[in-house]
Structure 1
Amino acid sequence: MDFTFSDDQLAFQDSVRSFLTNEVTPEVIRELWQRDGGRSDELWTRLAGMGLTALTVPEGFGGLGLDELDFVLLAQECGYAALPEPLVETVMVAVPLLAALDDSHYQLQEHWLSRVASGEARLAVGHPCNPLVADAHVADLLLLCHGDEIHAVPATRATLSAGESVDPSRRLFRVDWTPSPETLVASGETGRRLQADTLNRGALACAAQQLGLANRMVDIAVDYSFERKQFGSAVGAFQAVKHHMANVAVKAEFTRAVLYCAAYDVARGLSSATVAVSHAKIAATEAALLAAKNGIQVHGAMGYTWEVDLHIFMKRAWALDNAWGSRGVHKARVGDFVFADGAPLGTGATFG
């Protein structure tokens, strides 16, 4: 069996990495913090021009018709760059949710998905696991949960109240709205299934970004350790500093297979997706949080300061820790799987 990504997937990852490295620099991120809304229409248009907003939109609605496995490498790169724009949640969470509605909502799907694919519209998703809705202020359509129902709510029918985040790039809002038959798009068993699938995709999106963040913080700390000199030598030459970063690199490397397995399970709709996603969210978050902790130590007292770029990525990792389910939530889901009667555990069940 071949578990590697295709040449096309890797080439697309390289092109996205190159674009984000050049266009989404720490200086650009800091500048966006000062803008009202914290978002850039110009940057969103350029992302759409690369086909990124259309990636998971079905071909019938003007998209590329790809899935979570195709996008997971790109989500990593968005994490590596700490991209402020809501691209990952749009492509990995909002679009699949809207596309999964039944045929009775074809006109709604056609109207919104085609506009998302072209970059003309943005979506935001509210879920019971997230008290506040990310990027609701730039969304043209909000997909919101109410009990076992899902509603498609135009932005004009919702009232927003800004919340706070440790990460200045994350814009969070409480959404006040009134459920109505006109906005209802799913309920009952269908609504519960779509909400569960949405939680899995949201957690997968966080995990992919956390892995990218962990890698970026390692790179920042390593670069600093060779620039900073002490006792006439670069601090990176000291064994204790090397161990700090090596520990993070090991955690990040072991996260890759777990993350890609989860993306495969979600993309194929497998029953193992829930536990695989929770495993990936835990592993990736622990790698990112260790990268933040050890990165601060490598920087010394400078690690906490506003002037050092490390805090941009560190704060994003802290913010994503509790997004789409805390580590406690996901550990409980893994525990339910492991301790269930007849759980398919061990090497014999791995490739069953």
Structure 2
Amino acid sequence: MDFTFSDDQLAFREAVSRFLMTEAAPEMLREIWETDVGRSPDLRHKIAEQGLTALSVPESCGGLGMDDVAWSLMTQELGYYAIPDSLADTAYVAAGLIAALPERLPSREEWLRRITDGSIRIAVGHPVNPLVADAHPADLLLLAHGDEVHAVPRALADVIANPSIDCSRRLGRVVWEPNTATLVAAGEAGRALWAATLERGVLSVSGQLLGLAQRMLDLSVDYTAQRKQFGKPIGSFQAVKHHLADVATRIEFAKPVLYRAAHAVARGDADASVRVSHAKLACGEAAWLAGRHGIQVHGAMGYTWEVDLQMFMKRAWALDASWGDRGFHKARVAGFVLGDAAALGPGRTFGE
């Protein structure tokens, strides 16, 4: 078995990272935050030019046709640079849902092509999320009514804004009326679509949490190398080293969990849901520890607006409860581990 990423996947991630390093510096993000809409059409257009919006779109609709494993790398970059835009909701979560719709649906190909060129913003209102991210600036909302999937134009929905601890997140409660004109899937097909959408949504925030954890660790390492006490950088003190080493270890332990979950979703494995929940818990723990220890090594000034650490820390706090809180995912893992049919043990790692 080959568990490594392909050269194309790694090269694309490197290209996206170099692009975001230039176009999404913290000072630029602060400027975007302070606008009324909190979004930058120019930044989104540049991201589309890099091909990120086309990643999940089938090649028949002008996309790159890459799978969930590729997104496990890309979402880490979106988290690492704290992109103030629910880009993954459109380019990954919504694209996956729309691509799974019947090809005979009149608007399916148009939506996918518009995702590819970055000309549409889609908000996903999954039942697990009481609030919808980026509902207000969205052009199209994918909303649930029981097992039904509805594609609702923004003009047919009212959005009541809801503040978030993360200034870059634009959350809203959507008020709308389902009708036959907006219905795109129902019954068993609708249930399957929402189930698959949940797994992709969880994978998306898991990757972002891991990227956030790495950024908070890097910021903390940089700070401890510059801040001096008793004539020495505080990073030379053993207690500080232990804090940062704990975070680095937690991040490295979470990575294979995320990648295994993405692989399970890409293949449609029967145990994909529990692997996705495991990834959310592991990546969330890494982000929480990175934030907590980051504040400690910053001497608590990491909370303040002037320090970049707070930008990534607050995003991690907000995403931790998105697409299912810890209780939800712990229940899914426990249900599998404690079940009679759990295929656990060293002899079952790779199957027969």
> TM-score under structure 2 normalisation?
0.98
Alignment of 1:288-299 (within 5 A): 288-299=287-298
What residue identity is the alignment partner of 1:74? Answer: M
- SS of the residue corresponding to residue 128 of structure 1 reads coil
User: Aligned partners of 1:309 and 1:89: how far apart in 2?
Assistant: 25
- SS of the residue corresponding to residue 136 of structure 2 reads helix
Structure 1 counterpart of 2:204: 205
- SS of the residue corresponding to residue 107 of structure 2 reads helix
Structure 2 counterpart of 1:17: 17
Structure 2 counterpart of 1:232: 231
Structure 1 counterpart of 2:165: 166
Structure 1 counterpart of 2:309: 310
Q: Which runs of 4+ in 1 moved over 4 A?
A: none
What residue identity is the alignment partner of 2:264? Answer: D
Q: Is the 8 A contact 2:91 2:115 kept in 1?
A: no
What residue identity is the alignment partner of 1:50? Answer: Q
User: Aligned partners of 1:8 and 1:108: how far apart in 2?
Assistant: 31
User: Aligned partners of 1:37 and 1:247: how far apart in 2?
Assistant: 38
Alignment of 1:7-156 (within 5 A): 7-105=7-105, 107-156=106-155
- SS of the residue corresponding to residue 136 of structure 1 reads coil
Alignment of 1:168-317 (within 5 A): 168-317=167-316
Structure 2 counterpart of 1:344: 343
Q: CA deviation at 1:215?
A: 0.5
User: Aligned partners of 2:266 and 2:138: how far apart in 1?
Assistant: 25
Q: CA deviation at 1:48?
A: 0.5
> TM-score under structure 1 normalisation?
0.98
User: Aligned partners of 2:350 and 2:54: how far apart in 1?
Assistant: 32
Alignment coverage as a number of residue pairs: 351
User: Aligned partners of 1:169 and 1:347: how far apart in 2?
Assistant: 44
Which is worse superposed, 189-198 or 162-171?
A: 189-198
Cα gap change, 1:91 to 1:349, in 2 (>3 Å): farther
Q: Per-residue displacement from partner, 1:301-334 (whole Å, max 9, x unpaired)? A: 3121111100000000000000000011000000
User: Aligned partners of 2:297 and 2:4: how far apart in 1?
Assistant: 34
What residue identity is the alignment partner of 1:142? Answer: L
Q: CA deviation at 1:120?
A: 1.1
User: Aligned partners of 1:16 and 1:178: how far apart in 2?
Assistant: 39
Q: Is the 8 A contact 2:243 2:293 kept in 1?
A: yes
- SS of the residue corresponding to residue 174 of structure 2 reads strand
What residue identity is the alignment partner of 1:189? Answer: E
What residue identity is the alignment partner of 1:132? Answer: L
User: Aligned partners of 2:279 and 2:169: how far apart in 1?
Assistant: 22
User: Aligned partners of 2:33 and 2:16: how far apart in 1?
Assistant: 23
User: Aligned partners of 1:267 and 1:90: how far apart in 2?
Assistant: 18
User: Aligned partners of 1:91 and 1:12: how far apart in 2?
Assistant: 15
RMSD of the alignment, in Å? 0.9
User: Aligned partners of 2:304 and 2:49: how far apart in 1?
Assistant: 36
- SS of the residue corresponding to residue 166 of structure 1 reads coil
Q: Per-residue displacement from partner, 1:116-169 (whole Å, max 9, x unpaired)? A: 111111111001111110011221111001111110101111111111111001
- SS of the residue corresponding to residue 300 of structure 1 reads coil
- SS of the residue corresponding to residue 217 of structure 1 reads helix
Alignment of 1:313-324 (within 5 A): 313-324=312-323
Q: Is the 8 A contact 2:288 2:317 kept in 1?
A: yes
Which is worse superposed, 310-319 or 70-79?
A: 70-79
Q: CA deviation at 1:272?
A: 1.5
- SS of the residue corresponding to residue 137 of structure 1 reads coil
- SS of the residue corresponding to residue 39 of structure 1 reads coil
User: Aligned partners of 1:60 and 1:118: how far apart in 2?
Assistant: 14
- SS of the residue corresponding to residue 144 of structure 2 reads strand
Which blocks of at least 5 consecutive residues in structure 2 are unaligned? none
Q: Is the 8 A contact 2:141 2:151 kept in 1?
A: yes
User: Aligned partners of 2:94 and 2:349: how far apart in 1?
Assistant: 31
What residue identity is the alignment partner of 2:68? Answer: E
What residue identity is the alignment partner of 2:195? Answer: A
Q: CA deviation at 1:246?
A: 0.4
Q: Is the 8 A contact 2:71 2:204 kept in 1?
A: no
What residue identity is the alignment partner of 1:44? Answer: R
Q: Is the 8 A contact 2:33 2:84 kept in 1?
A: no
